[in-house]
Amino acid sequence: MLTRLFHHPIFAEHLTGPGHPERPDRIRAVMAVLEDEAFHLLDRAEAPEGSLESIYRCHPEEFVRRLATAIPEEGMVRVDSDTILSPKSFSAALHGVGAATAAVDTVVAKEAENAFVAARPPGHHAERATAMGFCLFNNAAIAARHAQAVHGLERVAIIDWDVHHGNGTQDIFWSDPSVLYCSTHQMPLYPGTGAKDEVGKGNIVNAPLAAGDGGGAFREAFRSRILPALDDFSPDLVIISAGFDAHYRDPLANLKFIDKDFDWATAELMEVADRHADGRLISLLEGGYDLEGLASSTAAHVKRLMTG
């Protein structure tokens, strides 16, 4: 299978300061592992800059303008206690948006069977009008709206296996049954959302996991809740919010996934895409803060995207 990788050097120039877990070394670790000979068939593309029009489908213009004007000329400023802006942050976020929408264009046009976006900052905590949790713009949500507005796809599914619940994606699509949002995550944990009874218009499927849970609980959540919901929904496009901080090595949480768990889930979602979406699937990097765990999990995920 042909997998297209979207990346841009600007992603390493979003600076967050010493000791911050969402640091440039994350993207360097991802790109280093994808330089291995096993990935020589990856189709590599430079992420374009995203359009403001695509962002406005999910975030109000006033919010985008406020974020842009907060960018410092030098040094760093805080959006909140976790979320940092530096001189290249807005450009990095724009290229993350551009990568996400270009990934959609790629799979719709059949230029590749699927696509992986190696970008930072991540996106799934960004609510409609709030940047938070290391996230500025919600790339997964923007990709979903782009698929609908530009390509006429009706039903988009977003599956989020980051260890932290994607409150931003849930917020944006809470009242929109044309987008299905499914999430596994540790609970209780930041940001405090993601209970089973948070269902939106029936289009929100949360499958919270407990601290210490590993691959068995993850796979059971997929089999009992997420995969049946996906088959009932019959999406035209599958989007993965691919956070790798549920890995057992990760310092920010307490789930115990191994690389094979991400490989398994990737294969299951590829089968969903084959059944319902003519194979259309894109994956967007979210969290993952232990460099070794992030690199090995990403490698397992991308290798499965490439081989089916």
State the SS3 of the chain: CCEEEEECHHHHHCCCCCCCCCCHHHHHHHHHHCCCHHHCCCEEEECCCCCHHHHHCCCCHHHHHHHHHCCCCCCCEECCCCCEECCCHHHHHHHHHHHHHHHHHHHHCCCCCEEEECCCCCCCCCECCECECCECCCHHHHHHHHHHHHHCCCCEEEEECCCCCCHHHHHHHCCCCCEEEEEEEECCCCCCCCCCCCCCCCCEEEEEECCCCEHHHHHHHHHHHHHHHHHHHCCCEEEEEECCCCECCCCCCCCEECHHHHHHHHHHHHHHHHHHCCCCEEEEECCCCCHHHHHHHHHHHHHHHHHC
Six token digits for residue 256: 């115990």
Residue 185 is a catalytic residue? no
Of the candidates 257, 278, 271, 258, which has an alpha carbon nearest to the alpha carbon of residue 305? Answer: 271
Active-site pick, 59, 125, 185, 276: 125
Question: Are the C-beta atoms of residues 247 and 258 closer than 8 Å to each other?
Answer: yes
Q: Which residues are part of the catalytic machinery? A: 125
